[in-house]
Structure 1
Amino acid sequence: MDYIAHIREKDGEIQTVQEHLDGVRGLSEKFGSKIGVQYLAGLSGLLHDLGKNTKKFKNYIQDAIANPDNPPPKGSVDHSTAGGRLLYQKFYNKQTNSIENLAVEWMAMSIISHHSGLRDFLTPDLSSDFLRRVMEKEIPEFENAVASFFEQQVSETELQEYFEKAKNEVIHIVKIINDNRLKPITMSLILKFIFSSLIDADRTNTRMFDENEDESQMVDSASFFKESYNALMDKIASFRNSEHAGKPINLLRMEMSDQCEGFASNPSGIYTLSIPTGGGKTLASLRYALKHAMEYKKERIIYIVPYTTIIEQNAQEVRDILKNDEYILEHHSNIIEDRNLENDDEDYDLIKKKLKLAKDNWDSPIIFTTMVQFLNVFYSKGTRNVRRLHNLSNAILIFDEVQSVPIKCISLFNEALNFLSSFCNTSIVLCTATQPALDFVENKLKISSDSEMIKDLKMVGQSFKRVNIIDKTTPKGFTAAELKTFILDEMEQVNNLLVILNTKTAVRKLFEELNNEEERENHDYLLFHLSTNMCPAHRKKVLKDVKKALSNKKRVICLSTQLIEAGVDISFECVIRSLAGLDSIAQAAGRCNRHGEYGIRNVYIIKSADEVLSKLKEIEIGGEQTARILEEFKVEPEFFGNNLLSPEAMSVYFQYYYSQISNKLNYSIAKSDKTIFDLLNQNQDYIAAYNNKNNTRFPLISRQSFATAEQHFHVIDNLTTSVLVPYNEEAKQIIADLNGNLEIRELGDLLKKSQQYVINVYDPELKKLDKEGNIELLLHGNVYALKEPAYTDEMGLDLKGEGSWSLEIW
């Protein structure tokens, strides 16, 4: 009997289980081979849908297609357990902790989890999701499914030979871990890589069948990188020939750019690029990346940034130079909430099926994404994010403003990078003027020796000095009215000014003070406002308007949250920055006199009386340590090189800062004494509790609590939902189209376009908007859209009140 894996909706064509398993095995092997897990991934792919070799599943899928409006209950047929059980029964030796057992655990866990996300080897109630599935769960027709597999797919001898190859890969992996003294969490990341290879292979093969396409439509990255390098060098040549090329600061920028290209000949490693703010690091890092990609045959270049604002600017800058839209992907956030898509078995809600299959796997040659999305690939729950993990191998990752890694995620971030460097042949660049000393903490980042790309950083820093830092902090801080007076007094001396505050609420209050018609006429200024209550396209438009006003010598006051301070190419005569970490002060200073066009200008540090930082502990602690540096600088400025933004000052600041938060780096779980780092590392507490309770050792080698860790992992503490906003006509058309009947390819293209029109909304505010009738549901409730009355040109999402809206979304 030919058993059915999938039935194509449009023409009723059948993909047999045999065809699907062969296809997924091939893709899994291809993805896994990049780090030496070809057979571990391939065997997972070969066995993942073994449970579809049953009459019950055949009836189930035929019934689902015949009755799309009334499909059988999801999960009513479990097809994802059988392959894991076959591995466990055939190869697991309960008498020994062997390499064979570890191979079985990694592959079987990937197989049983491929619809739901990884499960716990050891749960908080001291049982095992893994053992429950591979040993205890009833699987109807299991013997028939296995017999059909051996009859149609491979012989038992061939399976044994394949397993031996997978086992040898485990031997090699364990040797690398031991030789490099890597932590046990590395094994968690290996398993996640195997899982990623399987998930993407499964989704890709299914989508290709559904779209009736073959695999030949692959991007030629090598040719694209060569063309892109030539385009970039043409642009750089135009800089060399410009009328300002001979200015000292431009000569220094060009010298640093040349150094980055020279550094590209170094092999893969973890490196630092500490070009000062305004030093041209976007193009310098791109020059390194393109040259390195050509020399070492890398598959993609991924820029990871803290704020979506930088994605918009940097991606546009790169597009303008490379003249290519198709091969450059901006990935801001997931438009579809993962929690709406995951389930324990095949889903025949056709809308959800299309959403899961839509191409979303980071296979573009150049990608711009956020730190949130990067961390989600490794540690968030479900299958959609981890699907991208294998595409981080044999790649170049450029972390722009790397000091913005959330404190609670530092250990997890460091281990992800150590894994990518040790196993994945990935080149990593930590790119910032304020390097955060990630090798100072307990779970250190293994930065390469001679890691800095730029020579003589002290001289470079002195050459780029363009501002004086002036401490204007007071114990009570400035109210919005007092800050307005200070701003207007300063505007008597300058033509334009930027104010950066820590909370959206404080920015709103100041905006309301300054947005007074009489004041604006008397003092003759244009007032602009920026925050992440605006969608990316909206922020891009505001920034464009600000730059135009500045270039036309208009009098400008711009108010913003911290989103403007990291990487946005804009320059003001004066900057006022609310007290925060010294790295944030340095980044804000980078928006002042950016090109040295005004000689030396002032950056003022103030305290805002309107900021409530009780829920923003990182900013609060950072501000306290900056205040400590400010006091010490008054007494002994020479200790800091007579410069508050010197490498010496930054080093002391980070040591103070990390000392204050050393107990927060491993991602503590709320209302628990557990950390996510330990759940994925040694899981000591649960193991000890299991052994004590049962008076015996835990029977598995693997002990990670994947599902528990992923359940608690959120880069941003408060849950948010991506919401489409009706900013302009294109956004409104996207919202209308998402209510239509779309093919998978159309849906994927539409979701990609919609990235420009998304804001992230906290759950309490989403409920409030919904209660007020300002939320529209699209795609059967899988996509949220904001109605027009709740979105304005002035403020973006127009929702007043303190609440969670103080917190900046990344």
Structure 2
Amino acid sequence: MIARIRAKTEEEQTIKEHSEHVAQLAAHSLAGVGLSALGQLAGLLHDMGKYTRAFYDYIWQAYRHPEAKPPKGTAPHAQTGAIYAYERWYCSGQYEKLTAQILSLVIRAHHSGLPDCICPDGSSPYLECMEAARTDVRTHYDEAKGNFLANVCGTDALDSLFLESVAEVRAFAETAGKDKTSYGYTTRVLLSTLVDADRWDSACFERGENPFGAPVQCAPAWGMLLSRLNESLRKFDSATRIAEIRNGVSLRCFAAAHDAPGIYRLTVPTGGGKTLASLRFALEHARMHDMRRIFYVIPFNTILDQNAGALRDALQNYEGILEHHSNVVMDDEAEQSAHTRLAERWDSDIILTSFVHFMNTLYRKENTDARRMHRLQRSVIIFDEVQAIPQNCIRLFERAVQFLVRGLGCTAVLCTATQPSLALEGADIIQNAGALFQSLRRTEIIDETRPARTCEEAAQNALSLLREYGAVLMIVNTKKAAESVYQKVKDGAPANVHCFHLSTNMCPAHRMETLEELRALLKNGASVFLISTSLIEAGVDVSFPIVIRSFAGLPSILQAAGRCNRNGEQALGRVYVWTLSEEKLERLPFVQHGQALTADVMLMAREERLDLQDLVCIRLYFDKEQKLYGAEGKRNVERSYPFKNTNLVELLGKNKPGEDAMVRLYPQYQGRLFLKQAFRTAGEAFRVIPENTVSVIVPYGEGRQLLARLLAGGGTGEMIMLLRKLQRYTVNLYETAYRALLQQGGLCFYPEYGVTVLREAYYSGETGVTAAPETMDSMIY
């Protein structure tokens, strides 16, 4: 019996060979966390359903007649091994039931993703599917089981391997956690391992490569990379006071790296050099504790390219650095294919990825995302600008980090200038952060929130500051305010002033080119005005003598201050906080909440004569936020990703509402499920940014030529390459904006390529996507 046929040579891979390969790969992958028998058993059983004459005929029919392939579902196979694991081993004993259901779920899901054990309505797609498949003549269950047991692995050997797996799961739970949420993560780790091993062996067979040919999980030469970093650090100017402070932060990170793996907080003021200091920690910690990978998880694509460049320079263009985010596009198909292979598996030593990709790996329903999760084991994970994690993801993030540290042996480093109050116990790398904040103070924050200003008044006030200081950065809460103030300042500015605008209405290529031009002008001492939404305030390396921040939460104000006098160009930079009366924040409740909390902190700071940049003010802000959103707070559900009458934390844990509904409506399922999570429902609902958006290609720069080449037609490979390159020329529109442009005829549709394109007249070379003023009022926020 065969699993597949190599397209070029008609060589067959037997099910036995493939099953044994996948079992060996999965076992090796999970050996580091003590789950090798579990991985081996899942690998052996995953394709049991292919051991039928019907599947053999299906494979050859698809190969010989690709123009008339049998429809999907003609010869289903994933359910067979799942049914076998559940029926044979789901018996008395907590860990026997847990292990059997984990195996059954993962085998069932290795093509389609994890199903719901119990839906919110009380039904059980997992049990229903297995019951239907057990009697479905297409599965040929008895034939498949008999052939598999006779040719791949017998009953006694499988039973023995199962008992080993039970012992492993029991021991793993002692460290990873004995709660349903941790069991859910354990299930996803096994799924990740099985999917990766299955796809890797299949791809290697198709390419004629040995799946065991490359060294697996061999620790990189962290010591060599640390030497490269130290060599690069010695080249920096060390004569200034700020350089001396940054070196002190770096040395403290190096010393802390010798401590045990766990959770660490790196609290360093903006401009304190935490990017390279955290890299120094990660390299030494990985060397000391034999860690496998280093991850940088960054919330904004705006700073991913910047940080990636800094790391490549510091490590002398080390080849083992992988960038996994939407801005990465290779120049040719071969390079893109190689990059995709690495990105799909996170198969590199140092990986820079977005917070979206990281969270999707842990929570989205697609196996393409889940496939990467097992690569996190024994890694140092640097979470940069951790204060920017969206509120709706906080509880999911906390639980994930706890599991990664306890279960997968990771070290997590929470980096920021404004450390939020998270339910994550850890150690502070900087012991006396208060003194560090004092020594790195380069700005004063001036509270001018009252009276509120109109956009016209704000523009005039900004022009006055521009005339006095030569360069001004203004950061606002809404895209509408950014565009309004930009136009007013531009109209009133002298001819020698260069005016810039930044927002997500501009495509990534447009934003990056704007920043490059801006930095060059600032370096040459030109007069510059920049207005931006919050996308610039976390980690973007620019420095202005004057920064204006529209009233927001204290973390946003302090992050904005990090763009002021960044390198100590003057004695003290100034950060003004203004209230813009025309900003509509009804659809931005977290900004409104932040304003209210900050107003309280400002009042206390005035009464106590404190600087808003003092750590005591930062901690007071987050203490107040914790009370607002905390475990007992009425808004706690907002941090748990609300979903209909429940939330994702509940769906991925005990799923009590679903279980209660099952007891009422489906009593026949009682006692048949140890795990009750609604994996599929949660995975479909999860989004880091929950608002629905539509991706639209915009006519900007090289994007015009790329689009013309796409629409001219070509081969599939070229089309895929062009679509990837066009990601840098794409804007995500909220539904209100999309509908407004649709009504005005501002969009073109090309269904044969699966793209929507913005017409030329609706994209500004200065501000990005634009529309008629009467519709923009309601569609930009």
Alignment TM-score > 0.5, same fold: yes
Task: Give the SS at the match of 1:160.
Answer: helix
Instruction: Indicate conservation of the 8 Å contact 1:409/1:665, yes or no.
Output: no
Structure 2 counterpart of 1:248, which letter? R
Distance between the aligned counterparts of 1:164 and 1:115, measured in 2?
26
Evaluate the alpha carbon distance shift between residue 382 and residue 282 of structure 1 in structure 2; reply closer, same or farther with a 3 A threshold.
same
Structure 2 counterpart of 1:167, which letter? V
Distance between the aligned counterparts of 1:753 and 1:741, measured in 2?
16
Equivalent residue, structure 2, for 1:512: 487
1:230 matched to 2:202? no
Equivalent residue, structure 1, for 2:193: 197
Distance between the aligned counterparts of 2:338 and 2:78, measured in 1?
20
Evaluate the alpha carbon distance shift between residue 570 and residue 363 of structure 1 in structure 2; reply closer, same or farther with a 3 A threshold.
same
Instruction: Indicate conservation of the 8 Å contact 2:740/2:779, yes or no.
Output: no
Instruction: Indicate conservation of the 8 Å contact 1:734/1:754, yes or no.
Output: yes
Task: Give the SS at the match of 2:412.
Answer: strand
How much has 1:769 moved relative to structure 2? 6.0
How much has 1:548 moved relative to structure 2? 0.7
Evaluate the alpha carbon distance shift between residue 790 and residue 419 of structure 1 in structure 2; reply closer, same or farther with a 3 A threshold.
same
Q: Deviations over 1:636-661 (max 9, x none)?
A: 32xxxx21111111111112222223
Equivalent residue, structure 1, for 2:22: 24
More divergent stretch after superposition (55-64 vs 315-324):
55-64
- In the TM superposition, 1:48-67 aligns within 5 A as 48-67=46-65
Task: Give the SS at the match of 1:164.
Answer: helix
Equivalent residue, structure 2, for 1:581: 553
Equivalent residue, structure 2, for 1:372: 356
Task: Give the SS at the match of 2:353.
Answer: strand
Instruction: Indicate conservation of the 8 Å contact 1:535/1:759, yes or no.
Output: yes
How much has 1:788 moved relative to structure 2? 5.9
- In the TM superposition, 1:784-803 aligns within 5 A as 791-798=763-770, 801-802=775-776
Q: Deviations over 1:342-367 (max 9, x none)?
A: xxxxxxxxxxx999989512222122
Distance between the aligned counterparts of 2:719 and 2:346, measured in 1?
16
Evaluate the alpha carbon distance shift between residue 726 and residue 33 of structure 1 in structure 2; reply closer, same or farther with a 3 A threshold.
farther
- In the TM superposition, 1:166-245 aligns within 5 A as 166-176=165-175, 183-215=179-211, 216-217=213-214, 222-223=219-220, 225-239=222-236, 242=237, 245=238
More divergent stretch after superposition (168-177 vs 781-790):
781-790
How much has 1:767 moved relative to structure 2? 6.2
Equivalent residue, structure 2, for 1:402: 386
Distance between the aligned counterparts of 1:205 and 1:765, measured in 2?
45
More divergent stretch after superposition (387-396 vs 757-766):
757-766
Structure 1 counterpart of 2:509, which letter? A
1:123 matched to 2:119? yes
Instruction: Indicate conservation of the 8 Å contact 1:32/1:42, yes or no.
Output: no
1:305 matched to 2:298? yes
Evaluate the alpha carbon distance shift between residue 302 and residue 171 of structure 1 in structure 2; reply closer, same or farther with a 3 A threshold.
same
1:538 matched to 2:510? yes
Equivalent residue, structure 2, for 1:346: none
**Residue 660 of structure 1 is aligned with which of 628, 642, 667?**
628
Instruction: Indicate conservation of the 8 Å contact 2:393/2:688, yes or no.
Output: yes
Distance between the aligned counterparts of 1:653 and 1:193, measured in 2?
36
**Residue 683 of structure 2 is aligned with which of 710, 716, 721?**
710
Equivalent residue, structure 1, for 2:333: none
Equivalent residue, structure 2, for 1:281: 274
Distance between the aligned counterparts of 1:9 and 1:764, measured in 2?
47
Evaluate the alpha carbon distance shift between residue 163 and residue 262 of structure 1 in structure 2; reply closer, same or farther with a 3 A threshold.
same
Evaluate the alpha carbon distance shift between residue 144 and residue 426 of structure 1 in structure 2; reply closer, same or farther with a 3 A threshold.
same
Evaluate the alpha carbon distance shift between residue 434 and residue 685 of structure 1 in structure 2; reply closer, same or farther with a 3 A threshold.
same
Task: Give the SS at the match of 1:615.
Answer: coil
How much has 1:318 moved relative to structure 2? 1.2
Task: Give the SS at the match of 2:228.
Answer: helix
Distance between the aligned counterparts of 1:209 and 1:788, measured in 2?
47
Instruction: Indicate conservation of the 8 Å contact 1:332/1:755, yes or no.
Output: no
More divergent stretch after superposition (363-372 vs 216-225):
216-225
Task: Give the SS at the match of 1:643.
Answer: coil
Instruction: Indicate conservation of the 8 Å contact 1:204/1:357, yes or no.
Output: no
**Residue 456 of structure 1 is aligned with which of 432, 445, 463?**
432
How much has 1:559 moved relative to structure 2? 0.9
How much has 1:28 moved relative to structure 2? 1.6
Distance between the aligned counterparts of 2:608 and 2:749, measured in 1?
59
Evaluate the alpha carbon distance shift between residue 671 and residue 330 of structure 1 in structure 2; reply closer, same or farther with a 3 A threshold.
closer
Equivalent residue, structure 2, for 1:467: 443
Evaluate the alpha carbon distance shift between residue 646 and residue 362 of structure 1 in structure 2; reply closer, same or farther with a 3 A threshold.
same
How much has 1:545 moved relative to structure 2? 1.0
Evaluate the alpha carbon distance shift between residue 221 and residue 276 of structure 1 in structure 2; reply closer, same or farther with a 3 A threshold.
farther
Distance between the aligned counterparts of 2:441 and 2:721, measured in 1?
45
How much has 1:227 moved relative to structure 2? 3.8
Equivalent residue, structure 1, for 2:368: 384
How much has 1:719 moved relative to structure 2? 2.3
Evaluate the alpha carbon distance shift between residue 773 and residue 225 of structure 1 in structure 2; reply closer, same or farther with a 3 A threshold.
farther
Task: Give the SS at the match of 2:494.
Answer: helix
More divergent stretch after superposition (720-729 vs 536-545):
720-729
Q: Deviations over 1:581-615 (max 9, x none)?
A: 10110100010011221111210111122322112
How much has 1:139 moved relative to structure 2? 3.5
Task: Give the SS at the match of 1:714.
Answer: coil
Instruction: Indicate conservation of the 8 Å contact 1:221/1:300, yes or no.
Output: no
Structure 1 counterpart of 2:692, which letter? L
Distance between the aligned counterparts of 2:456 and 2:146, measured in 1?
79
- In the TM superposition, 1:107-146 aligns within 5 A as 107-137=103-133, 138-140=135-137, 141-146=140-145
Structure 1: 5+ residue stretches without partners = 337-352, 439-443
Evaluate the alpha carbon distance shift between residue 669 and residue 471 of structure 1 in structure 2; reply closer, same or farther with a 3 A threshold.
closer
How much has 1:80 moved relative to structure 2? 1.0
More divergent stretch after superposition (792-801 vs 98-107):
792-801
Structure 1 counterpart of 2:16, which letter? Q
Distance between the aligned counterparts of 2:580 and 2:525, measured in 1?
29
Instruction: Indicate conservation of the 8 Å contact 2:641/2:649, yes or no.
Output: no
**Residue 612 of structure 2 is aligned with which of 644, 647, 654?**
644
Structure 2 counterpart of 1:124, which letter? P
Equivalent residue, structure 2, for 1:165: 164
**Residue 688 of structure 1 is aligned with which of 653, 660, 664?**
660
**Residue 646 of structure 2 is aligned with which of 656, 671, 674?**
674
**Residue 492 of structure 1 is aligned with which of 467, 472, 475?**
467
1:271 matched to 2:267? no
Instruction: Indicate conservation of the 8 Å contact 2:393/2:640, yes or no.
Output: no
Distance between the aligned counterparts of 1:759 and 1:709, measured in 2?
27
Equivalent residue, structure 2, for 1:90: 88
Equivalent residue, structure 2, for 1:421: 405
1:547 matched to 2:519? yes
- In the TM superposition, 1:720-731 aligns within 5 A as 720-722=693-695, 727-729=700-702
Q: Deviations over 1:677-703 (max 9, x none)?
A: 111111122223333456684421111
Instruction: Indicate conservation of the 8 Å contact 1:589/1:603, yes or no.
Output: yes
More divergent stretch after superposition (253-262 vs 319-328):
319-328
Instruction: Indicate conservation of the 8 Å contact 1:88/1:134, yes or no.
Output: no
Instruction: Indicate conservation of the 8 Å contact 2:463/2:489, yes or no.
Output: no
Task: Give the SS at the match of 1:323.
Answer: coil
Distance between the aligned counterparts of 1:555 and 1:781, measured in 2?
44
Evaluate the alpha carbon distance shift between residue 356 and residue 262 of structure 1 in structure 2; reply closer, same or farther with a 3 A threshold.
closer
TM-score calculated relative to the size of structure 2: 0.90
Structure 2 counterpart of 1:595, which letter? N
RMSD, matched Cα: 3.0
Instruction: Indicate conservation of the 8 Å contact 1:313/1:540, yes or no.
Output: no
Structure 1 counterpart of 2:693, which letter? T
Equivalent residue, structure 1, for 2:334: none
Instruction: Indicate conservation of the 8 Å contact 2:324/2:351, yes or no.
Output: yes
Evaluate the alpha carbon distance shift between residue 554 and residue 694 of structure 1 in structure 2; reply closer, same or farther with a 3 A threshold.
closer
How much has 1:791 moved relative to structure 2? 4.6
Evaluate the alpha carbon distance shift between residue 31 and residue 534 of structure 1 in structure 2; reply closer, same or farther with a 3 A threshold.
farther
Q: Percent identity?
A: 35
Distance between the aligned counterparts of 1:325 and 1:533, measured in 2?
34
1:701 matched to 2:656? no
Equivalent residue, structure 1, for 2:396: 412
How much has 1:296 moved relative to structure 2? 1.9
How much has 1:804 moved relative to structure 2? 8.7
Evaluate the alpha carbon distance shift between residue 731 and residue 170 of structure 1 in structure 2; reply closer, same or farther with a 3 A threshold.
farther
How much has 1:66 moved relative to structure 2? 3.5
How much has 1:25 moved relative to structure 2? 1.6
